[in-house]
Amino acid sequence: MTEAALPLPGGSAGATVALRPILCAVGLGPPAWFERVPGRGAALRAFGVGVPRDQLARVPVVAFLVEHPTAGPLLIDTGFGRGVAEKSLREVGPVNALLFRGGVEMRPDQTVAAQLSGGGVDPSAIGLIVMTHLHFDHAGGLRDFPGATVLVSEREWAAAHRRSAPFAGYVSGHLDERLEYRTLDFGAARPSGGFERTLDVFGDGSVVLAYTPGHSAGHLSVMLRLREREVLVAGDAVYTLATLRGERRPFHTADPKAFEHSLRQLRAFDRAHPDAVVIPSHDMGAWRQLAERYE
């Protein structure tokens, strides 16, 4: 595995990007997994035991197309692959299937690659993919972009290759060997935007990666500079805005202490950028408020 040499080519002074959020599926899962409930039955409710189907949460599974004026198009995450639409349990893994125990609503034409093609973007033009992390609902579509270079934090790459990875949200088959993977070392990263450790992808401030571990071992979030505002793609650093701006917490995190530390930084960004669009991965209410495109 090779470490990424940043900044990547293609940056331009003062560049701003455009952003297109992409909804590729909706999972039906226990609300208490995403926002923990108090009491002795917390674990049972988090796994949906005794939760009627009509009380399951509708959970978006998402990705993002970023258009850079000189570096070209890139993706943040890849959502589910086609196999989920075809009801393949192998695509999510039997353990992960518990998270969406109510099933997944997805058609084959909802994969990220299919939606890009339908929107006039050739999937083969995607030369770069930034992964917030490598869990099954974010990395499932990687195989649709075999010519891309994938940026992922060093610690996340290591976590996805542990023997325990299948029990921690990872599916090894998602990491298509045809792609070029480049790891990110945040050890010497600089502070920016309220975050302690950040890396500038193109060296022009348009796409900046913030180290936000906790949900997973090497999770990162992405700050984007648009013409009139900033966007923070928070990934699973917060499932919902109720965690970012309230006291809700998810039922489980890989590292609770790191999660809280990252949450304080996310909140610092949110306070310092009141006009920014902050996007958590699995908040359907927040997702419905998003525009089709941001410039």
- What letter does residue 142 receive in the DSSP assignment? G
- What letter does residue 144 receive in the DSSP assignment? G
- Please compute the mean of the pLDDT values over residues 219-229 and round it to a whole number: 97
**Residue reference for tokens 């090779």:** 2
Instruction: Name the residue among 185, 177, 182, 33 with its Cα closest to residue 102.
Output: 33
pLDDT value at 78 more than 90 = yes
pLDDT of residue 287: 98
Higher pLDDT, 229 or 86: 229
pLDDT value at 115 more than 80 = yes
Which pLDDT band holds residue 101 (cuts at 50, 70, 90)? confident
Q: Which domains does the chain have, with CATH numbers?
A: 5-9+11-288 (3.60.15.10)
Residues 238-269: tens digit of each pLDDT: 999 999 999 999 999 999 999 999 999 999 99
pLDDT of residue 28: 94
Q: What torsion, rounded to 10 degrees, do the Cα atoms 294, 206, 278, 145 define?
A: 80
Q: Considering the entire predicted model, what is its pTM?
A: 0.97
CB pairs under 8 A, 24+ apart, for 154-157? 154/3, 154/183, 154/184, 154/185, 154/186, 154/218, 155/213, 155/217, 155/218, 156/131, 156/216, 156/217, 156/218, 156/219, 156/220, 157/1, 157/181, 157/183, 157/218
Whether 168 contacts 254, CB under 8 Å = yes
Residues 175-194: tens digit of each pLDDT: 999 999 999 999 989 999 99
**Distance (Å, whole) CA 136 – CA 97:** 10
Which pLDDT band holds residue 90 (cuts at 50, 70, 90)? confident
pLDDT value at 92 more than 90 = no
